[in-house]
Structure 1
Amino acid sequence: MAESASKRLKPTPIIGTHNGHFHADEALAVHILRLLPAYAESSLVRTRDPALLAECHTVVDVGGEYDAARNRFDHHQRGFTTTFPGRPTKLSSAGLVFLHFGKEVEEDGPEVELLWRKLYESFVEALDAHDNGISAYDPAAISAAGLSKRFSDGGFSLGAMVGRLNPNWNDPIPEDPAEAQRQEDEKFSVASRRIGEEFERDLDYYVRAWLPAREVVQRAFEGRAAHDPQGRVLVFEGPSAPWKDHLYSLEKESGGASEVVYVIYPEKPVPGAKWRVQAVPSSKDSFESRKALPAAWRGFRDEELDGITNIPGGVFVHAAGFIGGHKTLEGAKAMAAKALEL
């Protein structure tokens, strides 16, 4: 953007959204705006009255208009199809506000674009899908496969978390319309803060932990040929870090010439720690491994495991084969090398 969206603002701009039953998308949209200095002291008007909305500087989730130049961010109008760059999910008011203001929420630096995309995909997109009635899985494909839930997962999601902060259907409503609106607005404020806390917690994690991990993973990724000529073993000889997200993206950026099969890292960041050998999942959230540790090793520990692998110092191999352990780094490397051969 040539000019940041918030720099167009006049002092203390008024934010408008709809009244009545509230949802996670406008609750988050309002919170994101209020994270920006220009909106920090903004008042909020919750109404469906076009005349009152016209007096608001910025309007989200109501009004039937998407016009970023005029700070109108609704998604309900016929023909609206806007998505986040590179993503298929139609935006809600949360996604629209994050699209235009999200980079200003994050810290300045060369990684702002990466953080902006990651935070959308990991947090905001789920709210866009929820508000637009888009399922995470294709309902027709699930039905055709005859799949159904084995049990209730409690119905808890980001959208449900906000939804249940609405008044109950049988809560008493004050006779005075102004008092009724005030009470409803108070509940919305609670909901906006609540979803905002989760958003800020994710933002803090990605800035302070996830992003620094990328450098650690990249060093290990670039040095993997020292452990396997085909680059199938990644070793964290120094500090280990959350690696799955970064490994998949680094493989994609490198052209996917060879996939990492096993990742080796210390069990704890202390001298003399034991070492883990973990099979890389087929995808980030999959329980299937690209190549699980050999079936003959699974479920065995200590001396029994040593007798099967012929690698003294083994600690365990999980019954599912996705992870194992050894007392030393060299032993863990030997386990990975042997597993590649079997």
Structure 2
Amino acid sequence: MLRLLPTYTTSPLVRTRDPAILSTCHTVVDVGAEYDASRNRYDHHQREFTTTFPGHSTKLSSAGLVYMHFGKDIIQTVTGLATGPDLDILYEKIYTDFIEAFDANDNGVNAIAPKDLTSAGITKKFEDRGFSIASVVSRFNYAPSATGAPRDKADQAEEDARFLKASLFVGEQFLLELTDRAAAWLPARKIVAEAYSKRLEDDPQGRILVLHDGMPWADHLYGLEKEAPIPAGVAPQVLYVLFPESTEADSKWRIRAVSKENGGFENRKDLPDPWKGVRDEALDQVTGVPGCVFVHAAGFIGGNKTFQGALEMAKKACDY
């Protein structure tokens, strides 16, 4: 993250815990047992350290400390975003969706306490420890041979080289997260809000949201439902979102069941069971709607050749 700023673009990296060497460094991160932003000291291992990101309860790691102090400057440098509400929103979003998981992992905090899962009788359906950024970074870590031979300069050089590879990998993931959010997620806020305000035009109960372009909409929809007052007679939640497959005038349309917030693959209301896994003319017959293309066997998404067809599918699904 720091290398994205002009001050640090060409700065050399020194990996050491030697206090004498650290005292010569412009910025010290993750070592040194000191947190003092005025002197660019960003360690979190002190017993008395309890700092958290504003509005969050996870204790910061060095990643969170760097992001908290430099994040807005980094975002502005990369995206050109001006100071204001949009910058504040993106700054918070990047921490919540990307950085906080690093803080939690570094400080030994589980997303859900194992004891809570055990007391609830919940067990994993599969093992996912190897499928995370933390596990990928772990694979970069240098492990000396099992011979027990003392570490030498070659060992240290290998460790440093692999550290740099890990840093480049995670840095690329951060940059992708930032640029994609700035280019697509942030502009989508206003479009989704406008579509949400007009949802009663397509369904008097407001259960269908129509977007005339594909975009990241879920986060914004969840937020709008919490922020905006719900009129009498209007459903509290949107059940289906419609959007075109492409920008072509004759594009096919998709109908997407809205997932439960933080529910993964669990939807507020699946597309009807009799539609699941059915395609084309057979689906026309089952739904009573012409122009159907498909409904996924899991019931979370379907398609029609036209907007009107997709809208009719959504209306029937709402009342099924």
Same fold judged by TM-score > 0.5? yes
Please tell me the residue identity of whatever aligns with 1:91. Answer: L
Please say if 1:246 is aligned against 2:220: yes
- Which residue, out of 204, 211, 220, partners 1:229? 204
Contact 1:239/1:269 (8 A) holds in 2: yes
Please say if 1:164 is aligned against 2:139: yes
Please say if 1:276 is aligned against 2:254: yes
SS of corresponding position for 1:199: helix
Partner residue, 1:93: 62
Relative to structure 1, the CA distance from residue 172 to residue 105 in structure 2 (aligned partners, 3 Å threshold; closer, same or farther) is: farther
Q: CA deviation at 1:175?
A: 8.0
Please tell me the residue identity of whatever aligns with 1:246. Answer: H
Partner residue, 2:90: 115
Please say if 1:213 is aligned against 2:182: no
Contact 1:216/1:240 (8 A) holds in 2: no
- Paired with 1:190 and 1:300, the residues of 2 have a C-alpha distance of 47
Relative to structure 1, the CA distance from residue 278 to residue 39 in structure 2 (aligned partners, 3 Å threshold; closer, same or farther) is: same
Q: CA deviation at 1:36?
A: 1.1
Contact 2:209/2:240 (8 A) holds in 1: yes
Relative to structure 1, the CA distance from residue 267 to residue 148 in structure 2 (aligned partners, 3 Å threshold; closer, same or farther) is: same
Deviates more, 1:92-101 or 1:307-316: 307-316
| Number of corresponding residues | 310
Q: CA deviation at 1:128?
A: 0.8
Relative to structure 1, the CA distance from residue 189 to residue 306 in structure 2 (aligned partners, 3 Å threshold; closer, same or farther) is: closer
Can you give the 5+ residue segments of structure 2 that lack an aligned partner in the other structure?
none
Contact 2:144/2:155 (8 A) holds in 1: no
Relative to structure 1, the CA distance from residue 218 to residue 162 in structure 2 (aligned partners, 3 Å threshold; closer, same or farther) is: same
Please say if 1:35 is aligned against 2:4: yes
Please tell me the residue identity of whatever aligns with 2:87. Answer: V
Please tell me the residue identity of whatever aligns with 2:302. Answer: G
Contact 1:174/1:180 (8 A) holds in 2: no
- Paired with 1:176 and 1:307, the residues of 2 have a C-alpha distance of 72
Contact 2:129/2:135 (8 A) holds in 1: no
Q: CA deviation at 1:74?
A: 1.0
Q: CA deviation at 1:180?
A: 5.3
Identity of aligned residues (%): 52
Q: CA deviation at 1:152?
A: 3.6
Contact 2:130/2:136 (8 A) holds in 1: no
- Which residue, out of 309, 314, 320, partners 1:336? 314
Partner residue, 2:271: 293
Deviates more, 1:315-324 or 1:240-249: 315-324
Relative to structure 1, the CA distance from residue 305 to residue 166 in structure 2 (aligned partners, 3 Å threshold; closer, same or farther) is: closer
Task: Provide the alpha-carbon RMSD of the alignment.
Answer: 2.5
Q: CA deviation at 1:179?
A: 6.1
Contact 1:279/1:291 (8 A) holds in 2: yes
Can you give the 5+ residue segments of structure 1 that lack an aligned partner in the other structure?
1-31
Please say if 1:322 is aligned against 2:287: no
Contact 1:293/1:339 (8 A) holds in 2: yes
Q: Residues 68-119 of structure 1, C-alpha deviation per residue, up to 9 Å, x if partnerless?
A: 2222111111132211112221110000000000000112323111111111
Relative to structure 1, the CA distance from residue 230 to residue 199 in structure 2 (aligned partners, 3 Å threshold; closer, same or farther) is: same
Q: Residues 259-301 of structure 1, C-alpha deviation per residue, up to 9 Å, x if partnerless?
A: 1111111123222222221111112452221122223333333
SS of corresponding position for 2:316: helix
Q: CA deviation at 1:160?
A: 2.3
Q: CA deviation at 1:255?
A: 4.6
Contact 2:213/2:246 (8 A) holds in 1: no
Indicate the structure whose relative CO is greater, using CA pairs within 8 Å and at least 6 residues apart. Answer: 1
- Paired with 1:183 and 1:300, the residues of 2 have a C-alpha distance of 55
Partner residue, 2:41: 72
Contact 1:244/1:284 (8 A) holds in 2: no
Q: CA deviation at 1:53?
A: 1.6
Please tell me the residue identity of whatever aligns with 1:261. Answer: L
Partner residue, 1:199: 174
